[in-house]
Amino acid sequence: MNYRRKKSRQDGVPISLASFIYPGLVVFAVSSLFFGLVAMISHPIISFFSSPKYEAKVVDYDLMESDTDEAKRAIVEFKDHKNQLIKKPLNYGSSHPVEIGEIITIGYEDGDQSVTNLSFGTQKLIVFIVSLFLFVLGLAMAWIILYSWGQDYSIIFRIGIGFVTYLVFPAAMLFFIGVMSWVIWEYFQGRRNDMPVWALGICSLFVTILIPAFFGYLKMLFTREKTVKKNSRFSTFKNRMRK
């Protein structure tokens, strides 16, 4: 399609309207899908940054139905912007809920049936995952648009490869190291006595493997950068000597 388009320009033949219809439809479809998905999954980010924040105190629990374990949902008490005392449950339940009497930061808007615990690390993790997904989706959208218009899209691949190489892989390795180390710590603290010994052994094995693998991966990245720079300098010097 790109070859025909260039050939038509060189021959002086006017480009037909049909050559713009397909790229236009592709851009419209991809844009509609992209912004629709953004509107659907960006709610955690919007609520995290835009919801009114209050300091609330955990005063009670209520039970939630769960297939695996008894989940408790913390009930908090706080005063809104009208200085009215409000009592609402959190929007999640856990077998290890927030302790009664603890002060947490919450997000709440008038009419909400539950509140969001903004002090909870998982909420920040959800925001990070959604942001990561939107970034990847944005790269895919940019690639499709550039490809449909016959433009150079190599920059998208370079950004994507660099993003995966320098951020996703190290972050994933750190995440697994942290999670498995936390499980081992919880076991030796006596809070996970129901965990079988073989599961503890698997976690210990993976932590033992992942820690040196993580540092080895970082060393490989920085060593490769130095090698590339050294080779580029050598080639530049070699070209000057030839001249």
Which CATH number fits the domain that encloses residue 63? 2.40.50
Say what the pLDDT of residue 14 is. Answer: 53
Paired with 28 in beta bridges are none
Can you give the pTM of this predicted structure?
A: 0.49
Local confidence pLDDT in tens for the 243 residues of the chain:
444 444 444 445 455 556 667 666 766 776 777 777 667 666 666 766 677 888 888 888 887 765 555 678 888 888 888 888 888 888 777 767 778 888 888 888 887 888 878 776 656 666 677 777 778 777 877 887 777 777 787 888 888 888 888 888 888 888 889 888 888 888 888 777 777 888 888 888 988 998 898 888 888 887 865 555 555 554 554 555 555
Range of the domain at 111: 52-118
Select from 100, 85, 96 the least CA-distant residue to 54: 85
Residues 6+ apart with CB under 8 A from 183: 192, 195, 200, 203
The token pair that represents 53 in the structure block: 């924040």
Q: What is the pLDDT of residue 226?
A: 58
The verdict on residue 240 lying in a domain is no
Residues 6+ apart with CB under 8 A from 134: 38, 41, 42
Best CA proximity match to 150, nearest among 14, 19, 16: 19
Distinct helix (H) and strand (E) counts, the chain = 7, 5
In a domain, 61, yes or no: yes
Nearest C-alpha neighbor of 217 from the set 172, 158, 156: 172
Does residue 100 lie in a domain region? yes
Q: Domain count of the chain?
A: 1
* Predicted local distance difference test score (pLDDT) of residue 6: 43
Residue 114 lies in a domain: yes
Whether residue 21 is contained in a domain is answered as: no
Predicted confidence at residue 84, as pLDDT, reads: 85
